[in-house]
Amino acid sequence: MLTVVEHPCISAKLTIMRDKNTPHREFRNCAEEITKFIAYEALKNIELENVEIETPLEPMIGKKVKNEMILIPILRAGLGMTDTILDLIPTARTGFVGLYRADDHETIVEYFCKLPECNKDALAIIVDPMLATGNSLVAAIDLVKKHGFSKIIAITILSAPEGVNEITTKHPDVKLYTGALDRGLNENNYILPGLGDAGDRIFGTK
């Protein structure tokens, strides 16, 4: 199920990210800020449980997150979204999935996977800035499910209809949250109008 998180600040910051003249530091800052807006929406229905605490004035019953959360960035671009979500849920553990597209732009190669031990009630949160063909995210979800996780959401900054269709077809149980749904893909499977290579622009490698 797809949720496009609509907010004026997301639209404004995404325009900055799309601009080819935006320097990598500003691009990275906007990516982090957009991630926070999307994560607020994605996490608004997580389960809470009661906890007894003492305020400076009296005892009270407060709330805490009930189930464990596992944050899983897809390397490397997903790292640009990681700290922001950890700010929201600092108790989350972090796993990593390393994937890249081969020269044919279709084959997905796994080069790294390190995930925490699965708790049956844990929520896995997979993050990657771009959802283009959907092949990388499908592969990541496959790996996460293979490790025993059944409650999974995915957060992206920008998505193409082709990628959304791939996820909803192959993993209809995974909830997908994104900041914008673009027009489609070009002949090299880059999102249009898009924002270029998110990893390169986040880390300034091009």
Hey, what domains does the chain have and what are their CATH numbers?
2-203 (3.40.50.2020)
User: How does pLDDT run across 34-87, given as a tens digit for each residue?
Assistant: 999 999 999 998 889 999 999 999 999 999 998 899 999 999 899 999 999 999
Of the two residues 185 and 104, the one the predictor is more confident about is: 185
Q: What does the DSSP assignment read for 63-100?
A: EEE-S-EEEEEEETTTHHHHHHHHHH-TT-EE-EEEEE
Token pair of 162 as six digits: 């082709």
Whole-number Cα distances in Å, 17 to 4, 25, 35, 138, 188:
17, 11, 13, 25, 20
Contact (Cβ atoms closer than 8 angstroms) between residue 51 and residue 61: yes
Tell me: pLDDT of 105 over 70. no
Asked which of 22-36, 105-119, 127-141 is least confident by mean pLDDT, the reply is: 105-119
Beta strands 175-178 and 191-192, pairing class: unpaired
